[in-house]
């Protein structure tokens, strides 16, 4: 099977894109249940199928202030990494209960999935979607 870059998708071959967008970020303010497994959160799920480590940068965009970033992450070759947006600290922690968008870039192709776990009510909710490849 071929991916959009024409490379065979499989071990040692890079699947995905080097730039992704997320438009619907929102880290819920409240959580119910035991911490940390039931903390309301947004997560970036990053897949690197290639033979080279991915150097990833995340920039967050808001409706009422300048973008913040880059947050720098590494995804080892042929590995997956889940990163809670709540846990991004440097250059500053993202605010809770505020809408945001993100641009995620990488030096090598990766696949980006976005996930939200909302435990703020008695009914827990999970949303999962692919980021928009750019």
Which positions ≥6 away from 89 have C-beta within 8 Å?
Answer: none
Calculate mean pLDDT across residues 4-18.
66
At the topology level of CATH, where does 17-133 sit? Hypothetical Protein Tm1070; Chain: A (2.60.290)
110: pLDDT strictly greater than 90: yes
pLDDT at 126: 64
Place of tokens 């968008």: 101
Diameter of the chain measured on Cα atoms: 46
25: pLDDT strictly greater than 60: yes
pLDDT at 9: 54
Calculate mean pLDDT across residues 34-50.
82
Sorting pLDDT into bands at 50, 70 and 90, what band is 130? confident
pLDDT at 131: 84
Q: What is the dihedral of CA 25, 56, 61, 35, to 10 degrees?
A: 40
pLDDT at 119: 61
Q: Look at the pTM and tell me if it is higher than 0.85.
A: no
Place of tokens 């799920």: 45
DSSP strands (E only) in 4-133 = 17-26, 41-48, 54-61, 68-75, 79-84, 99-118, 125-130, 132-133
Domain boundaries, the chain: 17-133
Which positions ≥6 away from 50 have C-beta within 8 Å?
Answer: 12, 13, 14, 15, 77, 78, 108, 109
115: pLDDT strictly greater than 90: no
Closest by CA position to 58, among listed 83, 33, 30 = 83
């Amino acid at each position: 099977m071929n991916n959009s870059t024409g490379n065979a998708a499989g071990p040692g071959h890079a699947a995905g894109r080097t730039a992704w967008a997320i438009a619907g970020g929102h880290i819920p303010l409240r959580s119910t249940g035991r911490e940390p497994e039931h903390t309301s959160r947004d997560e970036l799920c990053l897949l690197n199928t290639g033979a080279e480590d991915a150097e990833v940068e995340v920039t967050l965009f808001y409706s009422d202030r300048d973008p913040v970033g880059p947050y720098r992450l590494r995804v080892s070759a042929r590995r997956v990494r889940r990163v809670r947006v709540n846990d991004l600290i440097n250059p500053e922690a993202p605010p809770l209960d505020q809408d945001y968008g993100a641009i995620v870039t990488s030096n090598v192709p990766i696949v980006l999935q976005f996930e939200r776990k909302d435990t703020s009510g008695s009914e827990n909710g999970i949303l999962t979607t692919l980021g928009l490849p750019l």
